[in-house]
Amino acid sequence: LFDELGIDVGLDKKGRLWIFEVNWRPGPPVIMNVELDVVRNTLQYAQYLADKNKKY
């Protein structure tokens, strides 16, 4: 059983409907959230180092 579907659709120039993909659990995969956290933390740390080493 499932309680939601994610359906990716599009229309072509003639107005025809195309289904690209159907997912039983819509949204980005869980691993993607972890990868985004790693990127966010890395960027914040790089900003911290840049600010700490500014020459006035």
44 or 6, which is more confident: 44
Ranking 2-11, 31-40, 41-50 by mean pLDDT, the lowest is 31-40
pLDDT for position 31: 65
Contacts 24+ apart (CB under 8 A), 24-33: none
% of the chain with per-residue pLDDT over 90: 39
Does the predicted TM-score (pTM) go above 0.85? no
Length of the chain: 56
| Helix (H) or strand (E) run with residue 44 in it | helix 30-52
E strand spans, 12-56: 17-23
pLDDT for position 18: 94
